[in-house]
Amino acid sequence: MRIVLHIWRQANAAAAGRMVRYELPNVNTHMSFLEMLDILNEDLIGRGEDPVAFDHDCREGICGMCGCMVNGVAHGPLPGTTLCQLHMRHFKDGDELYLEPWRARAFPVVKDLVVDRSAFDRLIAAGGFISVATGSAPDGNAILVPKENADRSMDAAACIGCGACVAMCPNASASLFMGAKLAHLGLLPQGQPERDRRVMAMEAQANRELFGSCTNIGECEAVCPKDIKLEVIARMNRDFLHANWIGRGGLKGD
């Protein structure tokens, strides 16, 4: 089938960008979206032109590397799907697709569709960890965890840090990402000793990274490829209020 692409081309962070039109006349419906971009790049390289830069790694929906806006929707039109797992059979012959990088102050463009998401790394470094002694794995029943908590923690841990939630949010908020990381640790016994300090540290780092505030619009949940729910944001807000109140001496360590 024939696909027309309008792709954001930008040489580097300091350069001006623009949309460039490309036409692919023989796209196989069994191709993944990234394989379609590979075909485009092979053609551009063959003509001596600069290939389109885009992030990718595992191409199995696990690593969180890939991602761009497709017709204004993060990861494209199929819900619960990363860009690498989106296949061309979900488009029609003659479709025109507009591809742009994530748009957020915290995610500056590196080149074309590639953005710098190291702000997420700094959020994790600020508080997305637990301090425990390393060594051999403990017995599975050494610390009992209610099944409901274990299930909810694993659901939150499914977050791959792709950044779609930030890109789709009108405020460029990282609340869904932070909420997922905080719920993942805060629902387990191992995460309790640093629970208050963790949420305060990550919130402070989010402000330094210039992420916006959450206004519960829900666009983040709608485009999350791992179906992380808004409830993790509510839990994060509750933890933040609790930690802030303790810090002011209101609850005396409750």
Per-residue H/E/C for 124-143: HHHHCCCCCCCCCCCCCCCC
For residue 252, being part of any structural domain is answered with: no
Whether residue 185 is predicted with pLDDT greater than 90 in this model: the reply is yes
One domain, residues 96 and 131: no
Q: How many domains does the chain have?
A: 2
**Within a domain: 135:** yes
> Which residues lie across from 98 on neighbouring strands?
6
pLDDT at 248: 61
Q: pLDDT at residue 252 above 50?
A: no
Domain boundary among 46, 77, 110: 110
pLDDT at 254 over 70: no
- Residue 220 shares a structural domain with residue 147: yes
Decide which of 78, 110, 142 is a domain's last residue: 110
For 50-104, the DSSP string reads: PPPP---SSSSS-S-----EETTEET-SSTT--GGG-BGGGS-TT-EEEEE---B
pTM of the model: 0.92
Convert the pLDDT of each residue in 116-132 to its tens digit. 999 999 999 999 888 87
Label residue 97 exposed, middle or buried (CB < 10 Å: 0-12, 13-18, 19+).
middle
Which pLDDT band holds residue 230 (cuts at 50, 70, 90)? Answer: very high
- Domain-ending residue, one of 110, 132, 160: 110
**How far, in Å, CA of 122 to CA of 212, rounded?**
16
Do 156 and 127 share a structural domain? yes
For residue 206, is pLDDT > 80? yes
**Both 194 and 122 in a single domain?**
yes
Residue 63: which CATH number?
3.10.20.30
Domain that holds residue 192: 117-247
